[in-house]
Amino acid sequence: MVTHPAHGARSGTLVNALLAHVESLPGERLRAGLVHRLDRDTSGLLVIAKTDAALGALGKAMMGHSIQREYLGLVAGIPDHDEGTIEGGIGRDPHNRLRYMIRADGRPAVTHYRTRERLAAASELEFRLETGRTHQIRVHLASFGHPVINDPIYGRRDPRIALPGQALHAWRLRFRHPTTRADMAFEAPPPEAYLHAKDILRG
């Protein structure tokens, strides 16, 4: 599901569904309530603000990198090191508007990874983002030589895997409640199609 209306996707988005459920959400109508986004076909957790105060506070928390977002992903190959950090500024590919790439003039981006499980010629990695650039994990992992499995833009599709797109799942969110200041943590297990893909990649 596309997160919000944009070129080529005016309806059937998450924001359309949110506005059908809650008529008034803060912020610009096309991105009503959104604190952050997920790439199309990336599953998992999002936080949505229901008031102007919440949107403002959570937006500042996102800018200040105090909202912790962790992802799970299935990638091609096995990294040489079980954990590490990938850094590289990300900007739009001048030859293809659907793609992003590491560029000297790109916006700074930092992705931390840790190997969760070694599979047969593939791996499951955990990712923690310091920044939230468009396609960040996908661009960084492709440049690292380990593209996300089934990524239609930065890798290649595996005909054995039924996922609609990349094998990437936003599984954990941690942040401080904008009003009570209580620490909050949420987890969502990967969907069945992701788990089935993982079984296939175990060989």
Residue 153 to residue 76: CA distance in whole angstroms: 14
Q: Give me the phi and psi of 136, to 5 degrees please.
A: -55, -55
Residue 80 to residue 70: CA distance in whole angstroms: 21
Q: What is the pLDDT of residue 9?
A: 60
Q: What is the pLDDT of residue 132?
A: 86
Q: What is the pLDDT of residue 36?
A: 87
Give just the sign of the alpha carbon dihedral 12, 169, 171, 38: negative
The answer, yes or no, to whether residue 164 has pLDDT greater than 80, is yes
Give the model confidence (pLDDT) of 62-91 as tens digits: 888 889 999 999 999 999 999 999 999 999
Q: Does 53 map to a domain?
A: no
* Cβ 139 vs Cβ 24: under 8 Å: no
Q: Does 58 map to a domain?
A: no
Q: What is the pLDDT of residue 10?
A: 63
Q: What is the pLDDT of residue 65?
A: 86
Q: How many domains does the chain have?
A: 1
Q: Does 98 map to a domain?
A: yes
Q: Does 103 map to a domain?
A: yes
* Cβ 94 vs Cβ 142: under 8 Å: no
Q: What is the pLDDT of residue 7?
A: 58
- Write out the residue range of the structural domain in which residue 160 sits: 68-201
Provide the CATH number for the domain around residue 142. Answer: 3.30.2350.10
Q: What is the pLDDT of residue 17?
A: 84
Q: Does 55 map to a domain?
A: no
Q: Does 57 map to a domain?
A: no
Longest dimension (CA), the chain: 50
Q: Does 35 map to a domain?
A: no
The answer, yes or no, to whether residue 203 has pLDDT greater than 90, is no
Q: What is the pTM of this model?
A: 0.89
Q: What is the pLDDT of residue 13?
A: 83
- List 129's β-bridge partners, or say none: 111
Dihedral over alpha carbons 36, 42, 44, 47 (to 10 degrees): 10
Q: Does 152 map to a domain?
A: yes
Q: What is the pLDDT of residue 193?
A: 94
Mean pLDDT of 174-182: 94
Give the model confidence (pLDDT) of 3-55 as tens digits: 766 656 666 788 888 888 887 888 887 788 889 888 888 999 999 899 999 99
Q: What is the pLDDT of residue 180?
A: 93
Kindly give the residue spans of alpha helices, DSSP state H, lying in 46-98.
Answer: 52-63
Q: In the chain, how many H helices and how many E strands?
A: 4, 9
Q: Nearest CA to 178 among 70, 66, 71, 37?
A: 66
Q: Which residues are catalytic?
A: 39
Give the model confidence (pLDDT) of 84-138 as tens digits: 999 999 999 999 988 999 999 999 999 999 999 999 999 999 999 988 899 999 9
Exposure on the CB side of residue 199, measured as CA atoms within 13 A? 8
